[in-house]
Chain A
Amino acid sequence: MSKKSESKTKALSKKAQEKQKDILEMLKSHGAKIYDDLDNGQFPKFSIPSRSVSNIVYDKKIRQYILGNATALRSSKNTSQLRSFTQLTWLAFFANRLTIEKKSSTLRDIYYSSQAFEIDFEDQGESDSIIVDLEAVTLRAREDFHIFPEERSSIFGDLNIEYTIPGYEGKTMNLSNHPDGYAIGPSLTTAELVDTSAEIVIAIEKGGLFTRFVEEQIDKKFKAIIINTGGQAPRSTRTLLKRLHDEMKLPVVILTDGDVYGEHIAMVIKSGSANAAHLRELTVPDAKWVGVWATDIEKYKLPTIPMTESDIKRCRDLQKDPRYQDGIWKKELDVFLRIKRKAELEAFSKYGLTNITEKYLPQKLELAKSL
């Protein structure tokens, strides 16, 4: 390890330490407030930005959904809020432990851990929702508290990283060493991105095609880092995409199924989801959706299946979304609604297994430059 990288690591860990200190102090101040209230014979309470639909607004300037100014008071005196108040206090307490001990936890893990403390979450949905509450109260992403979703997305390509998690500090890795790709988990999203020879990031919706891309050495042919989003991209993946774009200055293109859900997967990577309206730093506004478009279905004569009732309803819902009011987003949505048919990425197999990589992808990457 060179001297240069050594000092960089030190700087890194210092930065991480400061961040940790920040979070711990913030959590402590919340804890102290609750403590003092109880000690003074008062029911503790705090205000929390309202996440109701009416308080989620689209910010054109930063091109994502954000929370409005409405706040809700959550009081432990109110018996209908008492339980969730307790759950939230517990979660802060648990996140505090995770942060101090530098341990990671998944959403599911949180749900199960709660049981040891007589915190009766009814299901994971409820605990997930409390985690979002904690994010909203503290205005920090759950990853800052070492809480991560299940890993289902992966990455492959010539990228050198350096771990920052305890026990692996300073260790480096090249992400093209293992042909199955690397799971995008907390150790990867917190790792320092050292260098890369890649010139583009290709995010694909599906694992099957990701494997094919690795087999066909798309990483080499197109100088690309390939990422499998595993359907709707998890936050860790979106964080990593953002870092690849911002820190490594790599353009991001997205390849999805030719249907309304695919289009929206691309949109969420580009401008976030309403669910995470309370968080920033999760979007890649410059990311480009390159296909499969509705117009591609006609252009490439792809085999199709008819859209379902729910597909059509989803189209109509998205037509009301401010982000779908212009450009290809609006155009493709309109075409989907017109043809009422959809195609999967695998549809290209009709013209041979390599058709998608040899014909479609190059054309689309070329086109992306002009988008």
Chain B
Amino acid sequence: MSSIKEQFNQISPSEFFYRNRDLAGFSNPSRSLYTAVREFVENGLDACDQRGILPDIRLTIKAVDPDKPDPKPYILTVKDNGPGIESKHIPLAFGVVLYGSKFGLKQARGMFGLGATMAILYGQITINKPVTIKSSTDGKISDEFELLLDIQKNKPVILKHKTKEVSKKGLSISIFLEGDYSKAGSKIRDYVYQTSLITPYASITFEDPKGEKYHYPRMINTMPKPPTIIRPHPYGVDVETIRRMIVESQFAIPTIDDAMIEKVRKDLGLSKKNFSFTAIMDKARKRWKTLSRQVRVAIALMSFLKMDFEKLNKIRIEDVDVPNKKLVYWDFGDSTSKSVDMDPESQYYKQLANTVQGETLIAFLTKKFQRVGPTTAVKFAKFAGFKPEKRIGTMTNAELAKLSDSLQKFGDFMSPDSSCLAPLGDIPLEKGMRTFFNPDFITVIQRNASAYSGFPFIVEMGIAYGGDITTRGIKVYRFANRIPLLYDEGSDVVLKVVNDIDWSRYKAKGDPPLVIVSHVCSTRIPYKTAGKENVADRPEIERELKLSIQFIARKLSVFMNKRGQAEAAKKRANLYAKYVPLIAQFCTELAGKKKEPNFQKILQEEKPIENE
């Protein structure tokens, strides 16, 4: 991990941010306010989901000076009842760009936890006020931080830190930022409304700058099954991901510092007295089998350096170049970089090589990917043109590219595991829609998991008719990984599929009051644009959506048929009941009779058959 951090440190985060602010959704005050709301709310929901806590999210937006015209400074506060973040992690979690806990492969709303830091950074750049974070992990003590980001050093600066007694767990984050609520308001309200629809197990409250309160109470008390973190599927990885996986699989060369030296001494059973280099090596040989990998590596390094503990203290190892058999170190004594050759025949060299070069390709494939067994791995190695025992640490860039390319092309991998997905489930979806629309008719469907290019996905869909739905025509609410998609509706594959349906075939003629809720969940949603507001039309996804819609539309048409017949029968009966007695009355006099004819017979026959 340390080497990754060093790479990131070399990019100035503020420069990175400025280059990517459009991409990240911070292009103007209106969009930025909306994006910041989303990032914080989604972080809160994710945090609760991961611990199986029924979320209670409170969102507040306040104008610093309500009389000023937009755009103007706002205070955005989002409070959740999640697990909180441990005190020592808070400055890093919110004060460093690219620090996050979401690197595993499973479905979550946000990716990498980047957005929240972006929002904080945006706030700081526009208003230059610290972010306030209050967190309690035990429900007793709350740690309250005021932080600024040191943009140059990508480091948090703690302005204040105090603790307070509280009665609830959870995290609250509050930032100042330049926003435009008059423009962003309706989108934010839509966002909160729709988020509540797709998160029926959450309670969400939103207080807007005008003091209006929007409260969406919890509709069900059961959490959907949480997703499990799983290994990636071979189809779903690119070169960069493979590179990162390889680095993670290697054992880092331990830093030889005081603590390490102390550990080696202790493990070798040597007292604090100074021992000669040969004495140390003798002792090590005898105890080799009991030694840990870390200590073995330290011994191996020492064997080439030919140094005792005292000397070892005065250098820093810079590079272990296994292919060139060179060991490079920095000598503090005379402030120069020196190198020693390593004997490739030595057992110590093999120890280092194993550590640095990593596992064999077969071990890598079977351990790091889902649903790849040894047989498949061997078959793949042959297909890709690698020796099965090839060390992955020794791969050149060209070989990595070939590996990645072959992973995509190899046809014998099993389809991806969907246990990493967290669909909402048909019952919560129906319950949410029922509460929201109080419809005359509702049906939902959850399709089985399917996959596109190595990414598993599940489509859930519901349709509601009538009731509190007053809009004419079909209103489609689109969701991806429990996030409402509000922009770019026209180019979305869901809309395309809905519009391709001949609704009159399903007895939904004219402009019926219909609501369709579509939820696609996947470890990676194929968004069409960087704005992440529309799902691209991958054939596999389109097919699942189509099957879902056809299913719910068929159910709808059965309902509409029955309803149409019942309505027509009722209408007929009403007409007969109104007019037949009149006809009877007039014809009695016309026919010169006294008593009216018995017209009840035909009225009885035409009585509507009650709905079962």
Query: Contacts A35-B597, A38-B584, A76-B583 given; 13 further ones with Cβ under 8 A?
Result: A27-B590, A31-B587, A31-B589, A32-B590, A34-B583, A35-B590, A38-B597, A39-B597, A41-B602, A43-B602, A44-B587, A79-B575, A79-B576
Contacts of B590 in A (CB 8 A): 27-28, 30-32, 34-35, 89, 92-93, 96
Q: A residues within 8 A CB of B575? A: 79, 82-83
Q: Which of B579, B588, B591, B601 contacts A83 (CB 8 A)?
A: B579
5 residue pairs of the A-B complex, CB under 8 angstroms, read A27-B590, A31-B590, A38-B583, A79-B572, A82-B576
B577 to chain A, nearest CB (A): 11
Q: Find out whether the CB atom of A96 lies under 8 angstroms from the CB atom of B589.
A: yes
Tell whether, in the assembled complex, residue B583 and residue A86 are in contact, meaning their CB atoms are under 8 Å apart: yes
Given contacts A39-B598, A41-B601, contact A31 B592 (CB under 8 A): yes
Q: Report chain A residues within 8 Å CB of B599.
A: 38-39
Judge whether A42 and B602 touch: CB under 8 Å: yes
Q: Quick check: A86 and B582 within 8 Å, CB to CB?
A: yes
Q: Tell me, in angstroms, the Cα distance from A96 to B592 when the chains sit together.
A: 10
- A91 to chain B minimum Cβ distance, whole angstroms, is 9
Report how far A82 CA is from B593 CA in the complex, Å. Answer: 23
The distance in angstroms between the C-alpha atoms of A92 and B583, with both chains bound, is 11
Q: Which residue of B lies closest to A37 (CB)?
A: B597
Does A117 count as interface, using CB distance less than 8 angstroms?
yes
Q: Is the interface of B mostly helix, strand, loop or mixed?
A: helix
Decide if B487 is an interface residue (CB 8 Å cutoff).
Answer: no
Q: Indicate if the CB atoms of B579 and A76 lie closer than 8 Å.
A: yes
* Residues of chain B from 551 to 580 with CB closer than 8 A to chain A in the complex: 571-572, 575-576, 579-580
Size of A's binding interface in residues, CB under 8 A: 29
B612, CB-defined interface residue at 8 Å = no
Which residues on the A side are within 8 Å of B598 (C-beta)? 38-39, 41
Q: How many chain-B residues does the 8 Å CB contact rule pick out?
A: 23
Alpha-carbon distance A93/B589, docked complex (angstroms): 7
* Minimal Cβ-Cβ distance residue in A for B589: A93
Contacts of B8 in A (CB 8 A): none
**A218-235 to B contact mask, C-beta < 8 Å, 1/0:** 000000000000000000
Nearest opposing residue in chain A for B576, CB measure: A82
CA distance A39 to B580 in the complex (A): 12
Determine if B591 and A32 form an interchain contact, defined as CB atoms under 8 angstroms apart.
Answer: yes
- In chain B, positions 458-503 with a C-beta closer than 8 Å to chain A are none
B599 closest partner in A (C-beta): A38
| Contact of B605 with A by CB under 8 A | yes
Verify B587–A82 contact, CB threshold 8 A.
Answer: no
Measured in the bound complex, the distance between the Cα atoms of B589 and A42 in whole Å is 19
Q: Quote the shortest CB–CB distance from B490 to chain A (angstroms).
A: 42
Which A residues form the contact surface with B (CB < 8 A)?
A: 27-28, 30-32, 34-36, 38-39, 41-44, 76, 79, 82-83, 85-86, 89-90, 92-93, 96-97, 117-119
Report the bound CA distance from A354 to B599 in whole Å: 69
**A92: chain B residues within 8 A (beta carbon):** 586, 590
Task: Find out whether the CB atom of B582 lies under 8 angstroms from the CB atom of A119.
Answer: yes
Q: Which of A36, A39, A90, A97 contacts B582 (CB 8 A)?
A: A90
> Do A90 and B586 contact each other (CB < 8 Å), given the known contacts A31-B591, A41-B605, A79-B571?
yes
A165 CA / B587 CA spacing, docked (Å):
27
Measured CA separation A35–B588 after assembly (Å): 6
**Known: A38-B597, A38-B598, A38-B602. Is A76-B589 also a contact (CB below 8 A)?**
no
Given A79-B572, A82-B575, the answer on whether A28 and B592 have CB atoms closer than 8 Å is yes
Q: Taking A28-B592, A32-B591, A82-B575 as contacts, is the C-beta distance between A93 and B584 under 8 angstroms?
A: no
A42 to B580, CA, bound (A): 11
Interface centre among B575, B576, B590, B593 (most CB of A within 10 A): B590
CA–CA, A79 and B602, complex, Å: 13
Residues of B within 8 Å of A27, CB to CB, are 590
Q: Which of B571, B575, B576, B579 has the most CB of A within 10 A?
A: B579
B576 neighbours in A (Cβ, 8 Å): 79, 82
Whether B593 pairs with A35 at a CB distance below 8 angstroms is yes
Contacts known (A79-B571, A90-B586, A92-B586); A34 close to B579, Cβ less than 8 A: no
Docked Cα-Cα span, A44 to B592, in Å, equals 17
Residues 186-216 of B at the A interface (beta carbon under 8 Å) = none
Q: Nearest residue in A to B598 (C-beta to C-beta)?
A: A39
Residue of A nearest to B600 (CB): A41
The 8 closest A-B pairs by CB, nearest first: A31-B590, A41-B601, A31-B591, A93-B586, A39-B597, A38-B597, A34-B587, A32-B591
Taking the nearest CB of chain A, how far is it from the CB of B337, in angstroms?
100
A100 CB to closest chain B CB (Å) equals 10
Q: What CA separation (Å) do A44 and B571 show in the bound complex?
A: 20
Residues on the A chain within 8 Å of B572, using CB: 79
A294 to chain B, nearest CB (A): 51
Task: With both chains docked as a complex, state the minimum distance between the C-beta of A164 and any C-beta of chain B, in angstroms.
Answer: 25
Residue of chain A at shortest CB distance from B587: A34
Smallest CB–CB gap between A110 and chain B, Å? Answer: 14
Instruction: Give every chain B residue within 8 A of A34 (Cβ-Cβ).
Output: 583, 587, 590-591
In whole angstroms, how far apart are the Cα atoms of A82 and B606 in the complex? Answer: 14
Q: For B588, list chain A residues within 8 Å (CB).
A: 31, 35
A89 surroundings in chain B (CB, below 8 A):
582-583, 586-587, 590
- Residues of A contacting B597 with CB < 8 Å? 35-36, 38-39
Q: Which residue of B lies closest to A91 (CB)?
A: B586
